[in-house]
Copies of this chain bind each other. A is one copy, B any other.
Amino acid sequence: MSARSLFLLVVCGVVRAQVLIAGNEDAEILNPEKTTEEDLRVLVQQLMARVQKLESEREDRGQPQVAFSASLFTAAEWTHHGPFEAATTLIFKRVMTNIGDGYDSNTGIFTAPVKGLYYIRFTGCVGDSGSLNAAVLKNGVNMFAIYDTRGTHGSGSNGMTLVLEQGDQISVTLWTGNSIFDQSRLSTFSGFLVFPL
């Protein structure tokens, strides 16, 4: 804040003070006969502590913003993926949202930038193998999954609130013998921070 703006600030404050006094002529507010300079010192000190408390709480409350969403493939053409001979991490390539930069479209992994309660969800379209079994993993452990053996051109969705520590990794795995398809908007992976912990 420049000296000029500080000066203006103070002038404004004093002007408002005059207005305040003019509008409250009968007010006994911080009356010179009742409020000594020592009282003022105490009041200023109290204010300093209260403002410091407000400031520190504000920092605590500085709500981090984390959200991502991505579709599996960038091409609008129908693309089937799998089946593979091993469990395969799905790498969602068409990133729509990545606030907080937690999602890595090179690896398919979302890494929680802060500890918090997240909502994570996933939709997968059954590929032409006719079976889709895929799971959302947290640090390699199965959290929730979709399972559909009813043939291609249908989908499954699932989602959960999960507590994630900072650095926890979320990804989607396609299990052996299954396939998924997309055309840039049918198979999606999304999440966001609901509140920090």
- Copies of this protein chain in the complex: 3
Task: Say yes or no: A44-B44 contact (C-beta < 8 A), given A49-B9, A145-B186, A156-B155.
Answer: yes
Task: Provide the main secondary structure of the chain A interface.
Answer: mixed
- Closest residue of chain B to A35 (Cβ to Cβ) is B41
Considering residues A6, A9, A49, which has the most beta carbons from chain B within 10 angstroms of its beta carbon?
Answer: A6
Contact B144 A117 (CB under 8 A): no
Bound form: Cα–Cα A149–B173 in Å = 25
Contact B117 A65 (CB under 8 A): yes
| A41: chain B residues within 8 A (beta carbon) | 29-30, 32, 35, 40
| A43: chain B residues within 8 A (beta carbon) | 13-14, 17, 44, 48
Contact A67 B191 (CB under 8 A): no
A190 contacts the other chain (CB 8 A): yes
Question: Taking the nearest CB of chain B, how far is it from the CB of A125, in angstroms?
Answer: 7
Task: Say yes or no: A192-B119 contact (C-beta < 8 A), given A40-B41, A41-B40, A157-B158.
Answer: yes
Which chain A residues numbered 147 to 190 have a C-beta less than 8 Å away from chain B? 147-151, 153-163, 185-186, 188, 190
The one of B3, B148, B161 that contacts A27, using a Cβ cutoff of 8 Å: B3
Bound form: Cα–Cα A24–B185 in Å = 58
Query: A1-43 CB contact bits vs B (8 Å, 1 = yes)?
Result: 1010011011001101100110010111110101101111111
| A9: chain B residues within 8 A (beta carbon) | 48-49, 52
Question: Taking the nearest CB of chain B, how far is it from the CB of A151, in angstroms?
Answer: 6
Considering residues A125, A158, A159, which has the most beta carbons from chain B within 10 angstroms of its beta carbon?
Answer: A158
Bound form: Cα–Cα A157–B96 in Å = 18
Contact B51 A51 (CB under 8 A): yes
Contact B42 A44 (CB under 8 A): no
Contact B96 A162 (CB under 8 A): yes
A142 contacts the other chain (CB 8 A): yes
Which chain A residues numbered 30 to 88 have a C-beta less than 8 Å away from chain B? 30, 32, 34-35, 37-52, 54-55, 57-58, 61, 63, 65, 67-69, 71
